[in-house]
Structure 1
Amino acid sequence: MSPGQRRGVLIGGALLVVVVVVAAFFLLNSGSSAPEAATGATAVESPGALDPQSAITEYLQDVSENNPDAAARLTDDNAAAAVTLRATRNTLNPTSVAAKLTVLQPAPAGAKRTGGTFGVSWTLKPGQVWTYDVPFELVQSSGKWLVHWAPSLVHPKLEAGQRLVISTAAPDTVAVADRDGKPLVFGGAGGPRMVDGNPAPLLRSALMGQVTVAAGNGFAVERVDTGGKSVERLFGKVASDGAKPLVTSLSLAAQNAAQAAVDGYQGSAMLVALDTGSGDILAVAQNAAAGNSPKALSGLYEPGSAFKIATSVAAVQQSGLNATSPVDCPGVATIGTRTVKNENFELGATTLQNAFARSCNTTFGRLALDLPADGLKKAADELGLNADYEIPGIKSELGKVEPAASKDEQVEDGFGQGRIQASALGGTLMAATVASGKAITPRLWHDLPTTVVKGYSPPPSSVLGEVRKLMRAVVTSGTGRAAASAGTVFGKTGTAQFGDGSNATGWFVGYRESVAFAVVLENSNDSGPAVQLAAKFLKAL
């Protein structure tokens, strides 16, 4: 063929293409019945494959290639499949995954379901290859075949709500025990978790934060429930559980009693208990109304008349008084330039013990004024209110007592209404010091020491002997009589006004045998409920 003939053929072919394209243009826009695309609708292709073989083969290929979204689109529950496949892959973090079809049952003409089996092989780490078979089911929907989704596609034993995890420690080993050996925190496949009932919600992070899961040479795949509790070990082995659990100072019995007591109170309530011999923190409880921040351990409040314990220490030690010393208790008194009132009572000429038991503000305002400017601070120092400790896992504040800036402030400090501050933990430490006659180092752990940042020395035993008489009289004949049914209880009530004086915090600080305690009720405007709450706690021990 000559060059000219070749050019003629090419030109003719081009003209033919143009004619066909133009004809198609007019056909599509002529308004006649023609292809559906003329209506402007966009066809959305339904997910799935045209036949069962393609559906399961493509699914397994996407799983092997770590493409969970593509694999999920080949199932009849895209969203659930994508989440589970992605989470499992991220958790197990395999070097490779091989998923291959082993059996596919024939689907008769018109059948909407079929199934079979595929094999999975996870290479998890060198020398750790996990292989098993998975039954599957295929369903037909809108003319396409899909893999029927269920958690068992990941592993045949995996059920709804469960997940796979890697574990190096034996499941449900006791990671933290209370002082009596009772479990508080378990370690295992899902990491540390509190025992059922979450008995110490305020200390949850402190207890679990100290747990370290033993690595060892263990390596296993576990299936766990929604709470992280191991249901079954599916593959591998874990390190031996020979390591001893951490031992906390808490008493599960005391903690449960304390939590039940505060939970039974409608307002904001907190309770702390200490062992007066060892310094063990036996219980730290706070109810929902008090919020989530650990006020029981670090919240500072005016202690009100509960601080008369310190004022009594100062009066006995520095002013030479004792329980039977005569004092005056008028209903109202002008002390310095301050007008001080009692709670609608007066005792007249009485004893220090009776004035303490009935909580006479006029008596203790006068006693405070007769002390040196730093007299109350020295007493507070000896009771631990200005001490400072670093307790692993928690932040604590015991109190803040400084020398009075003026005589008027010194009067108010005498009955806990000046600039005196204490926490529930600080009040408990004060009571524990009176009970034991020694400096107390509070501790939350038997294995992890408390660091003494600033310690203290207790008052002389002769002084504390007199103060114990005062505190016992509060329960036998004074403002704490509601605790008399709970045994031989020593204590001191307190009601501390704050702000504009329209609201007050209720206190009851004390001890029974080797258990010291402090109850603080925000905005209770009365110490009576605090005494009742303490009695409920003590009776439950």
Structure 2
Amino acid sequence: MGTRTRRWVLGTAALAVVAIVAAAAVVLWGPAPVAGDGDPDAGAPAGAGVVASDFLAAFARGAPAEAAVYTDAPDEAAAGLTAAIAGLADATLRAELAPLPDVPADGDRVRGTATLTWTLGAGRTWRYETAVEVRRHDGGWAVHWTPALVHPRLGEGQRLEVRSATGPAVLDGAGRPLLVWRGGAAVRAPDAPRSILLPGLARVAVERAGGAWSVVAAGADGAAARLYGSPATDAEPLRSTLDLDVQRAARAAVDGTGLPAHLVALRPSDGAVLAVAQNAAAGAAPHALTGLYPPGSTFKIATATAVLHRGLAAPDTVLPCPGTARLGTRTIPNDGEFDLGSVPLRTAFAESCNTTFARLATRLPADGLQQAATRLGLNADFTIPGATTEAGTVTAAPDPVQRLEDAIGQGRVLASPFGVALMAATVAEGAAVTPRLWRDLPTGVGTGYEPPPAPVLGQVRAMMRQVVTGGTGAALAGRGAVYGKTGTAQAAEAETHGWFAGFRDDLAFAVLVRGAGTSGPAVTATADFLDRLP
């Protein structure tokens, strides 16, 4: 008897209890029914090929109960098919039945091959062959039920499951969770405070997952045999350098300002980023890491470094600190035009005498401030996995008037809270600091730097200590050996920002409170931050 081939394209359908959708199932079937088998077009019992194709068509469109009707064990097949594909949510199936061989007149079974092609998500296709046996049953033909119809290696009580590699959890430096995986996405751990770093940490975790996936035959006892794909084992946790205690303290401190505020904390000894915080008023963009602002008198750390390095003055050199100073075409005032008369350089630094440092800057070479700032990290450039940073920008100033404005952190000098914290960390450590966010993922250094000479940094440290013991940062006294520098800077938008940059022990930090008017709120936020640390 001749061979007929029929092609069916089935419409999309879904069964509520089985999350499987068949976009199209193409079933090819072979010989016409043998004598006595009947002709499906004449209403007689369907032949073996028709039954096999009807079974596959129903299975492909996600109707296991309907498919089971074409088997020799409908109840068992319905339960088995439903369970077998319950782990393939939103998959699509294409089923192709090769032509069946001829069935002898006295034959009671025929065995064919079906090709099943599953689409299990973007870029995930799984194709294999399985045997389909059709037997005479109750006066007609029926597909012989066995779990191997779904896959040759599927056993009783097993189901197909797609398993993707779970991205690594992200931990803080002490091994406490920052990000965990839920529903295929990295989410903030319940005890972790909010941080603008978390999205970047999540991106790194997703990249580390690598996209590995597999299909397994899973049993009720939890055992699973891999049928296809790469092993989808969970990735090892990633250890960041962040410290939950420091991050909580930083977040609480900026939240308490009532103004847009940012805080960055680093560990000078190894460059570990311990906390990056900014409050809701500061917006969602990571300004703590990339926002460039006039650093105000915190930049006098660099100016003092340049002056000391070039021998223009020593910490005990007595210099005038008038309320205002006319230098070229520019009149430079002290804050509130306070007048200290003549005082040592260290006192001028502690009280933040603009007039003293502006006069000294006019004696520096055009690139004097640029070189000092570069040696403190403000012109450095890093590639940190999961974080984009910009420390600052300080260029040469051939014009003496421009130079004196730069010297007090106005003019063209710009820095981010990250950059100011890096500057403080460099002074604290006495060495170039490479910031890092991960224990095992390195930071790329695009533009590195060499620190100022150790004797110069020793003098700068002593001057920064005097800021707290008897200068503009006196509100921080009693909180350990805190070293720092206050700053007030008028920004282009006519707002006046307040700064504090400093360090205590192996902790360097910078606080910026935008629109504060003075450095007072930044000093208060710093005190709050230090008080909240363990």
TM-score normalised over the length of structure 1: 0.68
What is aligned with 1:436? Answer: 429
Q: Which residue of 1 aligns with 2:186?
A: 192
Mapping of 1:161-240 within 5 angstroms?
167-169=163-165, 175-187=169-181, 189-211=183-205, 212-213=208-209, 219=215
1:169/1:187 contact within 8 Å kept: no
Distance 2:453 2:246 in 1: 30
Instruction: Name the structure 1 match of 2:74.
Output: none
CA–CA separation in structure 2 for the residues paired with 1:428 and 1:233: 54
Q: Deviations over 1:470-505 (max 9, x none)?
A: 10011111111122232211000100012374x211
CA offsets, 1:125-164, max 9 Å, x none?
6799xxxxxxxxxxxxxxxxxxxxxxxxxxxxxxxxxxxx
**Equivalent-residue separation in structure 2 for 1:369 and 1:206 (angstroms):** 43
Aligned pairs for 1:7-406 within 5 A: 66-68=12-14, 97-100=62-65, 119=79, 120-123=82-85, 124=88, 167-169=163-165, 175-187=169-181, 189-211=183-205, 212-213=208-209, 219=215, 243-344=235-336, 345-406=338-399
Q: Distance in 2 between matches of 1:183 and 1:240?
A: 22
Q: What is the CA–CA distance in structure 1 between the aligned matches of 2:389 and 2:244, rounded to whole Å?
A: 21
Taking only aligned residues, the RMSD between alpha carbons, in angstroms, comes to 3.4
Match of 2:501 in 1: 509
Taking only the aligned residue pairs, the percentage that are identical comes to: 45
CA distance in 2 between counterparts of 1:398 and 1:459 reads 17
Residue 270 to residue 217, structure 1, CA distance change in 2 (3 Å)? closer
Please, which runs of 5 or more residues in structure 1 have no aligned partner? 1-63, 72-80, 103-117, 129-164, 223-231
Secondary structure of the equivalent of 2:497?
strand
CA positional deviation for 1:191: 3.1
Alpha-carbon deviation of 1:219?
Answer: 5.0
In structure 1, the residue matched to 2:56 is none
Residue type of the alignment partner of 1:284: V
- Whole-angstrom CA distance in 1 between matches of 2:313 and 2:18: 77
Q: Deviations over 1:19-73 (max 9, x none)?
A: xxxxxxxxxxxxxxxxxxxxxxxxxxxxxxxxxxxxxxxxxxxxx97524xx7xx
Does residue 1:453 correspond to 2:446, yes or no?
yes
Correspondence 1:519-534 to 2 at 5 A = 519-534=511-526
**Distance in 2 between the 1:400 and 1:89 partners?**
57
The 3-state SS of whatever aligns with 1:485 is coil
- CA–CA distance in 2 between the matches of 1:530 and 1:332? 25
Structure 1 residue 216 displacement after superposition: 5.8
- Taking structure 2 as the reference length, what is the TM-score of the superposition? 0.69
After superposition, the Cα gap between the structure-2 partners of 1:483 and 1:66, relative to the gap in structure 1 and judged at 3 Å, is farther
Supply the distance in 2 between the matched residues of 1:472 and 1:528 (Cα, whole angstroms): 18
**How many residue pairs are counted as aligned between the two chains?**
404
Q: 1:275 to 1:221 in 2, by over 3 A?
A: farther
In 2 relative to 1, CA 221–353 (structure 1 residues): closer, same or farther, beyond 3 Å? farther
5+ long unaligned stretches in structure 2: 1-9, 23-58, 68-77, 89-117, 119-125, 129-160
2:457 alignment partner AA: L
Contact preservation (8 Å) 1:509, 1:519: yes
Q: Does structure 1 retain, via aligned residues, the 8 Å contact 2:164–2:232?
A: no
Deviation at residue 247 of structure 1 after TM alignment = 1.6
Q: CA deviation at 1:121?
A: 4.0
Who is 2:474 aligned against?
A: 481
